[in-house]
Amino acid sequence: MSEPTKNEEQKKGWTSEDWKNMIDAVAPLIQEWFQLQKEKEASYERRINSLSKHNRRLSISLITFLLVVVGLMSVLTIYGKVSGDALLFLVGTVTGYVVIMIQNLTQPLFESKEED
């Protein structure tokens, strides 16, 4: 019998050397993909931390401002310059505003990663 030609060897399938060459060629791509996934997770975590800090600072400053306004209105109500109804209306409005503000600030924190 004659020796098999290259075409006949290719028809038989891949040799162990072919598999080794393919694995050697694909391994760096798999490593790179894993590295990119790690970087993506780290970037997402940094983004969430930054967003949380920003939201906390904004919430504290806005709530402080609203407390000062309500405090001043309370003092004016005590001295009789403003009616109690106006103070009650202001407190209700401020409470609603704070609840909506906190809801809007926390919403991006709980979105899924796929939506980013």
Please state the rounded mean pLDDT for residues 3-32.
78
62 against 108, higher pLDDT:
62
Q: What's the pLDDT at 110?
A: 64
Do residues 94 and 88 lie in contact, with contact meaning Cβ atoms separated by under 8 Å? Answer: no
Look at the chain and report how many structural domains it folds into.
1
In a domain, residue 10? The reply is: no
In a domain, residue 7? The reply is: no
Please state the rounded mean pLDDT for residues 26-54.
90
In a domain, residue 6? The reply is: no
pLDDT band at 85, cuts 50/70/90?
A: very high
Give me the domain span that covers residue 101.
16-115
Do residues 56 and 35 lie in contact, with contact meaning Cβ atoms separated by under 8 Å? Answer: no
In a domain, residue 8? The reply is: no
In a domain, residue 79? The reply is: yes
Q: Is it the case that residue 13 has pLDDT exceeding 70? A: yes
The encoded tokens of residue 59 equal: 């919430």
Q: Is it the case that residue 30 has pLDDT exceeding 70? A: yes
In a domain, residue 107? The reply is: yes
Q: Is it the case that residue 60 has pLDDT exceeding 80? A: yes
In a domain, residue 110? The reply is: yes
SS (H, E, C) the chain: CCCCCHHHHHHHCCCHHHHHHHHHHHHHHHHHHHHHHHHHHHHHHHHHHHHHHHHHHHHHHHHHHHHHHHHHHHHHHHCCCCCHHHHHHHHHHHHHHHHHHHHHHHHHHHCCHHHC
Alpha carbons 63 and 71: distance in angstroms, whole number = 12
pLDDT band at 16, cuts 50/70/90?
A: confident
In a domain, residue 24? The reply is: yes
Q: What is the value of pTM for the model shown?
A: 0.54
Please state the rounded mean pLDDT for residues 20-30.
90
